[in-house]
């Protein structure tokens, strides 16, 4: 892949992704496999006048070895230095950039029960810090090809050609070209905001999803539910606009956690904890997932919705046209960042407090008490099909078709 395009991508992640401010710190989370690209990002961050850039490296093999040989208690422990590190993050609010490149099957042999238990031990200790950071910091998730990831998608190609092909797909879907990617994102964000404005003006009470694959689902929204999409702003004295996902095609909201009923079928595999869950369905009653099934990964799916009390409830409804740039690549990325933006998706687990009208003047606890879901997980799964229909029932009892044949009806 041309180094010039990689540099444009690195600049995009710094300028439009986290929108790094002069004198601000940046923390990058990435695999040691993509060190060359990370160095490009570090340089762009310093060119943007970052005061400090830190990189927290990971290695999938080392992570697996830790899960294999460490005890649950060791994995679940939160040391005092970790708390101090989180408090420092709360105090200084560095921008955070997560670069995904791992093998979709990289964790398929690990003990998932052990992983789940260790997360359950850590979460109550980490949560107070997470709550203090919510809506306060700039962050962005993006992707860079890893060799195993590229070969998973393009098994028929040599490793080098597979990586090149995945680079092409990532840059195209991220709107990186020879022109001005930052400007491309300004235009794209305006289009997403226009759709949000239309949906917010409708005053939607319920969404009714139907598809020939068996999906027949009703999801209730709160009167205060807001549709969001594209860039968003920090809830701090200095409002900073950033793009949490590159790429993104979605317009989304958080529903009333108690008002989902019916059944929904997946449209793509779900990559969760380094394993794939395929051909699955979820049945809801009064908001809660009361049953699930899957051709592959059913045990993992059941483990996922039992992580805590909120894991079996919906936290997000996202609308993306089936005729989207990502879906039109014809590629199954085996990565949620990309596959969730191919077509419509839902998410089990915690909702977004900034999708609640007036969130700026409320605590997270107050928002959760109003009906937005709270959980230690947030897992997106894809439901968009070519014939998906979505009708919106408004609070003044009108029915409006907002999706037809998998794409926008307006």
Concatenate the DSSP letters of all residues of 139-164 into one string. EEEEE---HHHHHHH-TTS-HHHHHH
Each residue's pLDDT tens digit, 74-116? 999 999 999 999 999 999 999 999 999 999 989 888 998 999 9
- Is it true that the peptide bond before 13 is cis, omega within 30 degrees of 0? no
For residue 210, name the pLDDT band (cuts at 50, 70, 90).
very high
Residue 108: predicted pLDDT: 83
Assign residue 384 a region (left: φ > 0; alpha: ψ between -120 and 50; beta: otherwise): beta
Condensed to tens digits (0 to 9), the pLDDT of residues 27-53 reads 999 999 999 999 999 999 999 999 999
Q: Residue 234: CA atoms inside 13 Å, Cβ hemisphere, count?
A: 21
Q: In this predicted structure, what is the pLDDT of residue 275? A: 84
Residue 289 has pLDDT above 90, yes or no: yes
> What was the pLDDT predicted at 370?
97
DSSP-derived 3-state class of residue 237? coil
Cα(40)–Cα(30) distance, integer angstroms: 13
Q: Is 350 exposed, middle or buried (0-12, 13-18, 19+ CB in 10 A)?
A: buried
Pairing of strands 25-31, 95-100: parallel
Other beta carbons within 10 Å of 109: 12
Q: What is the pLDDT of residues 135-172, one digit of tens each?
A: 999 999 999 999 999 999 999 999 999 999 999 999 99
Contact between 357 and 226 (Cβ < 8 Å): yes
Q: How far is the C-alpha of 39 from the C-alpha of 73, rounded, in Å?
A: 35
Mean pLDDT estimate for the chain: 96
Whole-angstrom distance, CA of residue 99 vs CA of residue 35: 11
> Looking at residue 276, what is its pLDDT?
87
Domain boundaries, the chain: 3-173, 196-231+243-408
Q: Rounded to whole angstroms, how far apart are CA atoms 327 and 170?
A: 12
> Residue 330: what pLDDT?
93
What pLDDT, on the 0 to 100 scale, is given for residue 151?
A: 98
Convert the pLDDT of each residue in 271-288 to its tens digit.
Answer: 888 788 999 999 999 999
CA gap 339, 334 in Å, rounded: 7
Assess whether pLDDT exceeds 90 at residue 1. Answer: no
Q: pLDDT tens across 295-320, in order? A: 999 999 999 999 999 999 999 999 99
Closest CA to 35 of 23, 26, 24, 43: 43
For 71, 84, 86, 309, the CA distances from 80, given in Å and listed in that order, are: 19, 6, 10, 27
Site of tokens 């037809």:
404
The residue to which tokens 């991220």 are assigned: 174
Helices (H) and strands (E) in the chain, counts: 12, 20
What CATH superfamily is the domain 3-173? Thermophilic metalloprotease (M29) (3.40.1830.10)
d(CA 336, CA 266): 13
Closest CA to 346 of 279, 267, 273: 267
Answer for the pair 362, 331: CB distance below 8 angstroms, yes or no: no
Do 256 and 220 touch, CB atoms closer than 8 A? Answer: yes
Convert the pLDDT of each residue in 224-267 to its tens digit: 999 999 999 999 989 999 999 999 999 999 999 999 999 999 99
Residue 270 pLDDT? 92
For residue 85, give every residue at least 6 positions away whose Cβ sits within 8 Å of its Cβ, in sequence order, or none.
none
Report the DSSP pairing between strands 275-285 and 288-296.
antiparallel
């Amino acid at each position: 892949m041309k180094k010039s395009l990689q540099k444009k991508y690195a600049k995009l992640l710094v300028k439009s992704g986290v929108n790094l401010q002069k004198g601000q710190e940046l923390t990058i989370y990435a695999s040691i496999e993509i060190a060359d690209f990370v160095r490009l990002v570090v340089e762009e961050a310093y060119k943007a006048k970052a005061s400090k850039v830190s990189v927290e490296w990971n290695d999938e093999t080392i992570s697996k070895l830790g899960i294999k040989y460490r005890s649950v208690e060791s994995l679940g422990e939160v040391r005092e230095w970790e708390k101090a590190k989180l408090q420092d993050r709360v105090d200084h609010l560095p921008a955070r950039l997560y670069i995904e490149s791992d093998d979709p099957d990289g964790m398929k042999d690990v003990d998932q029960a052990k992983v789940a238990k260790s997360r359950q031990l850590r979460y109550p200790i980490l949560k107070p810090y997470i709550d203090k950071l919510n809506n306060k910091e700039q962050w962005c998730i993006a992707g860079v090809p890893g060799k195993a990831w590229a070969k998973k998608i393009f098994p028929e190609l040599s490793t080098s050609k597979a990586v090149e092909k995945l680079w092409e797909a990532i840059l195209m879907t991220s709107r990186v070209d020879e022109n001005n990617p930052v400007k491309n994102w300004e235009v794209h964000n305006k289009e997403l905001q226009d759709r949000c404005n239309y949906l917010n003006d409708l005053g939607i009470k319920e969404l009714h999803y139907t598809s020939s694959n068996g999906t027949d689902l009703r999801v209730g929204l709160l009167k205060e539910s807001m549709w969001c999409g594209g860039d968003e702003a920090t809830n701090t004295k200095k409002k900073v606009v950033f793009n949490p996902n590159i790429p993104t095609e979605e317009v989304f909201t958080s529903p009333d956690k108690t008002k989902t009923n019916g059944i929904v079928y997946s449209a793509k595999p779900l990559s969760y904890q380094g394993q794939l869950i395929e051909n699955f369905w979820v049945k809801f009653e009064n908001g809660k997932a009361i049953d699930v099934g899957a051709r592959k990964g059913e045990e993992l799916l059941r483990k996922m919705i039992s992580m805590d009390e909120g894991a079996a409830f919906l936290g997000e409804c996202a609308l993306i046209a089936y005729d989207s740039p990502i879906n039109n690549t014809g590629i199954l990325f085996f990565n949620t960042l990309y596959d969730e933006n191919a077509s419509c998706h839902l998410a089990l687990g915690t909702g977004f407090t900034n999708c609640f009208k007036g969130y700026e003047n409320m605590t997270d606890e107050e928002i959760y008490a109003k009906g937005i879901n709270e959980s230690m997980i947030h897992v997106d799964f894809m439901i968009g099909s070519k014939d998906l229909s979505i009708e919106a029932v408004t609070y003044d009892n009108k029915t409006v078709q907002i999706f037809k044949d998998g794409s926008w009806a307006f």
